[in-house]
Amino acid sequence: MRLTLNKIILFLLLFFCANNAFTQKADSVLVKQHSPKKATILSAVIPGAGQFYNHKYWKIPIIYVGFGTLGYFINANQTRYKEYKLAYKYRVDNDTSTVDKFPLYSAEGLLQAKNYYRRNTEISYIFTAVLYMLNVVDATVDAHLYDFNISDDLTLKIQPTLLKNSFALNDFTKGIKITLNF
């Protein structure tokens, strides 16, 4: 009888431990995690896709307007650069049959204009790379802050108060009470 009672107690103990080990707590609901890595990759592959993943839809037109504007400047500066480069080439080839489109410019002026538009083209490419990197960084930071709780419970309250002096019975001291609620 003693052996069967020990078996029953062991069985009940194992049953309740196993039952408790496999139960799910009420507050442990599966929540889909918002992945900063996924937002970064999406934004790196397709600019604006990370912002879409983060539900920041208003940023997508800003990104594409920025890329469109920079694309316009790249195209305009590159076109002018090629024109001045060709004109300079025609000017210094010592062939009188080749005539360039800029008769009012000197050879030095054409060279300066060519270098000016080359520099502007390079700067436009640099700004395009910076905009691309800002797009990726913005998506990453937004994804990290996606679940950041901004609620009314986060308050800092400062108010005057009277503090009881611990050395005297009926003596109060003026003070400031700072209350921080999380």
Q: What is the dihedral of CA 140, 145, 52, 35, to 10 degrees?
A: 70
Q: What's residue 152's pLDDT?
A: 63
Report if residue 65 sits inside a domain: yes
Report if residue 166 sits inside a domain: no
Q: What's residue 28's pLDDT?
A: 56
Report if residue 110 sits inside a domain: yes
Report if residue 139 sits inside a domain: yes
Report if residue 175 sits inside a domain: no
CA dist., res. 83 & res. 85, Å (int) = 5
Q: What's residue 9's pLDDT?
A: 65
CA dist., res. 17 & res. 12, Å (int) = 8
Report if residue 30 sits inside a domain: no
Number of domains in the chain: 1
Burial of 86 (0-12, 13-18, 19+ CB in 10 A): middle
Q: What's residue 64's pLDDT?
A: 97
CA dist., res. 180 & res. 154, Å (int) = 7
- Long-range contacts formed by 42-47: CB under 8 A, 24+ apart: 42/139, 43/135, 43/136, 43/138, 43/139, 43/140, 44/136, 47/132, 47/135
Report if residue 115 sits inside a domain: yes
Q: What's residue 79's pLDDT?
A: 97
Q: What's residue 108's pLDDT?
A: 94
The single-letter DSSP state of residue 167 is S
Q: Which residue has the tokens 């090629």?
A: 82
CA dist., res. 19 & res. 13, Å (int) = 10
Q: What's residue 1's pLDDT?
A: 55
CA angle, 71 as apex, 67 and 76 as ends, to 5°? Answer: 155
Q: Residue 126 is part of which domain span?
A: 35-148
pLDDT per residue, tens digit, the chain (182 aa), is 556 666 666 555 555 555 444 455 555 556 678 899 999 999 999 999 999 999 999 999 999 999 999 999 999 999 999 999 999 999 888 888 888 888 899 989 999 999 999 999 999 999 999 999 999 999 999 999 888 766 666 677 888 888 777 776 777 777 888 887 76
Report if residue 155 sits inside a domain: no
User: The pTM is what?
Assistant: 0.65
36 φ, ψ (degrees, to nearest 5): -65, -35
